[in-house]
């Protein structure tokens, strides 16, 4: 029986499979992978921990079947800090929800996997999870093939430095075209959105996130509308989070 050794994977979601097994969907450095985890539905089974969403694994699996089975596994990170914090958990699930939009990024699979893991590591200790989510969602648009244009006006194709972001135009429009186009962010908000899109993860710290935080509510609203317009996607996780927030406001 052939086995693939020393594979890494982040559990994205879990579904019941047969009587006591689970079918897990993993993001790996080689793309997405579905595996059967035997005994995962048994309460006292040691494999139960391997089928929990938002868990980083190092594992081996069979490779001689259409639907392969997990054979050996070690948990590298439970992301307990995230799972114990409701606000961080909602952001993490919104992140996983977006990952499921991508079937594969082919030659960039390893890079994307590391990008996801690095984002989750930043999420563990931040006071600004919504800003981190915005960074992730903006960068993901490039892999989804619908990234907005920040440096060139999508209407006149001229370079633009201080423009306003427009969902309708799918980018930053120049001051001239802004007079005839619906814009969604001010110049300052647009600059902050561009910073979020272009900044490298290893440059992100709490000082940067704190700087952007006052702008993030408006930026997040625009990102959500952008996903809806160009990907026909609405986050169920965000809808649930908003409903819970509304309920808390009504509680005396």
Q: What is the CATH number of the domain that holds 27?
A: 2.40.50.140
Q: Are residues 105 and 222 in the same domain?
A: yes
Q: Are residues 37 and 23 in the same domain?
A: yes
Q: Are residues 46 and 126 in the same domain?
A: no
**Side-chain-facing half-sphere of 202: CA atoms under 13 Å:** 1
Q: Are residues 108 and 36 in the same domain?
A: no
Nearest Cα neighbor of 79 from 26, 120, 127 is 120
Give whole-number Cα distances, 170 to 99, 180, 184, 197, 215, in Å. 21, 15, 11, 14, 19
Q: Are residues 121 and 109 in the same domain?
A: yes
Query: What contacts 24+ positions apart, CB below 8 Å, involve 231-240?
Result: 231/101, 231/144, 231/146, 233/101, 235/94, 235/97, 235/98, 236/97, 237/90, 237/93, 237/94, 237/97, 238/90, 238/94, 240/90
Please give the chain's pLDDT, 252 residues, in tens: 455 556 899 999 999 988 889 999 999 998 899 999 999 888 888 899 999 999 999 998 888 777 889 889 999 999 999 999 999 999 999 999 999 887 766 558 888 999 999 999 999 999 999 999 999 999 999 988 899 999 999 999 999 988 999 999 999 999 888 888 999 999 999 999 999 999 999 999 999 999 999 999 999 999 999 999 999 999 888 888 777 666 555 666
Say if residues 68 and 15 touch (Cβ distance below 8 Å): no
**Residue at which a domain ends, from 56, 78, 100:** 78
- Residue 22, pLDDT score: 93
**Residue at which a domain ends, from 78, 94, 126:** 78
Domain count, the chain: 2
Q: Are residues 66 and 186 in the same domain?
A: no
Q: Are residues 43 and 151 in the same domain?
A: no
Q: Are residues 242 and 160 in the same domain?
A: yes
Q: Are residues 170 and 218 in the same domain?
A: yes
Q: Are residues 158 and 89 in the same domain?
A: yes
- Residue 1, pLDDT score: 46
Q: Are residues 56 and 86 in the same domain?
A: no
Q: Are residues 18 and 122 in the same domain?
A: no
**Residue at which a domain ends, from 78, 106, 135:** 78
- By residue range, what is the domain housing residue 55? 3-78
- Residue 250, pLDDT score: 61
- Residue 121, pLDDT score: 97
Q: What is the CATH number of the domain that holds 92?
A: 1.20.1440.120
- Residue 104, pLDDT score: 62
Radius of gyration of the chain (CA): 20
């Amino acid at each position: 029986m052939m086995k693939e050794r020393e594979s890494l994977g982040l559990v994205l979601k879990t579904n019941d499979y047969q009587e006591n097994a689970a079918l897990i969907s993993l993001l790996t450095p080689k793309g997405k992978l579905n595996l059967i985890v035997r005994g995962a539905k048994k309460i006292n089974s040691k494999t139960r921990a391997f089928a929990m969403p938002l868990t980083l694994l190092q594992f081996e699996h069979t490779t001689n079947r259409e639907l392969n089975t997990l054979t050996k596994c070690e948990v590298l990170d439970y992301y307990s800090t995230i799972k114990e914090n409701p606000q961080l958990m909602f952001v993490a699930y919104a992140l996983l929800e977006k990952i499921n939009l991508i079937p594969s990024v082919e030659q960039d699979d390893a890079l994307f996997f590391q990008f996801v893991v690095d984002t989750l590591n930043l999420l563990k200790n931040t006071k600004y999870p919504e800003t981190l989510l915005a960074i992730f969602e903006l960068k993901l648009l490039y892999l989804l093939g619908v990234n907005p244009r920040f440096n060139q006006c999508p209407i006149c194709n001229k370079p633009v430095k201080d423009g306003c972001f427009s969902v309708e135009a799918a980018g930053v429009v120049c001051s001239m075209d802004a007079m005839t186009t619906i814009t969604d962010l001010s110049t300052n908000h647009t600059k902050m959105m561009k910073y979020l899109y272009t900044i490298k993860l290893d440059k992100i710290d709490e000082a940067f996130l704190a700087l952007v935080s006052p702008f993030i509510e408006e930026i997040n609203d625009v990102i959500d509308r952008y996903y809806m317009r160009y990907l026909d996607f609405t986050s169920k996780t965000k809808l649930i989070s908003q409903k819970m927030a509304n309920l808390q406001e009504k509680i005396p």
